[in-house]
A and B are shown apart, each in its own frame.
Chain A
Amino acid sequence: MSDGPQPILGVKGLTKRFDVSKPRIVRLVSGEPRRIVHAVEDVSFDIIQGTTFALVGESGCGKSTIARCLAGILRPTSGAIVFMDTELGATRSRRAALPFKRNLQMIFQDPYSSLNPRWRVGRTIAEPIITHALLVGRRQIEERTAELLCLVGLTPADARKFPHQFSGGQRQRISIARALASEPALVICDEPTSALDVSVQAQILNLMRQLQERLGLTYLLITHNLAVVANMADTIAVMYLGRIVECGPAQGIIDRPSHPYTRLLLDTVPDIDFARRPREPIKGEVPSPISPPPGCVFHPRCKLANERCTRELPRLREAADGRAVACHAVEEGRALALVGLAPDQPEKRAG
Chain B
Amino acid sequence: MTAPPAMREPDAPWWQNGILYDFGRSPVAVLAAAVAVLLTVLALGADLIAPYDSYNPASANVVDARLPPGAVGLFGDRYLLGTDPQGRDMLSAMIYGLRTSLVVGLGAVVLAAVVGIALGLVSGYFGGLVDTLIMRVADVQLSFPAILIALLIDGVTRTVMDRAMHDKLAVPVLMLAIAASYWVQYARTVRGLVLVERGKEYVLAAQVTGVSPARIVGTHILPNVMGSVLVIATINLALAILTEATLSFLGIGVPPTQPSLGTLVRIGNEFLFSGDWWISILPGAMLVALSLSVNLLGDWLRDALNPRLAGT
Contact = CB atoms under 8 A, between A and B. Distances in A.
Given A117-B224, A162-B13, A168-B5, A72 B200 contact: no
A164 B9 CA distance: 9
A285 B212 CA distance: 41
Nearest to A182: B209
A68 B209 CA distance: 12
Interface residues of B, number: 23
A116 B209 contact: no
A71 B206 CA distance: 11
Given A117-B224, A162-B13, A72 B201 contact: no
Nearest to A72: B208
Interface in B1-59: 5, 8, 10-11, 13-14
Nearest to B203: A116
Contacts of A102: 210
Contact of A101 (B13, B202, B210): B210
A117 B14 contact: yes
Contact of B208 (A101, A115, A132): A101
Interface string B205-230: 11111111100000010011000000
B250 interface: no
B207 A72 contact: yes
A105 B200 CA distance: 16
Contacts of B201: 108-110, 113-114
A271 B30 CA distance: 60
A104 interface: yes
Contacts of A94: 210, 212-213
B232 to A, nearest CB: 19
A106 B204 contact: yes
Interface string A150-166: 00000000000110110
B274 interface: no
B205 A108 contact: yes
B205 A106 contact: yes
Contacts of A72: 207-208
Given A117-B14, A164-B8, A164-B14, A175 B208 contact: no
B210 A115 contact: no
A178 B205 contact: yes
A118 B14 CA distance: 8
A117 B5 CA distance: 15
Nearest to B213: A94
A102 B5 CA distance: 34
Candidate in A110, A116, A117 with the most chain B CB atoms within 10 angstroms: A116
Contacts of A116: 202, 220, 224
Candidate in B206, B208, B213, B220 with the most chain A CB atoms within 10 angstroms: B208
Candidate in B10, B205, B212, B220 with the most chain A CB atoms within 10 angstroms: B205
B312 interface: yes
A162 B208 CA distance: 22
A132 B206 CA distance: 12
A104 B208 CA distance: 8
Interface in A85-135: 94, 97-98, 101-102, 104-106, 108-110, 113-119, 124, 127-128, 131-132
B123 to A, nearest CB: 19
Nearest to B311: A164
The 6 closest A-B pairs by CB, nearest first: A101-B210, A114-B201, A108-B201, A118-B223, A113-B200, A116-B202
18 contacts: A71-B208, A72-B208, A73-B204, A94-B212, A101-B209, A105-B208, A106-B208, A113-B200, A113-B202, A114-B202, A114-B204, A115-B202, A116-B202, A118-B223, A119-B220, A128-B209, A128-B210, A164-B14
Given A71-B208, A131-B209, A131-B211, 5 more contacts: A104-B208, A108-B204, A113-B201, A117-B14, A132-B210
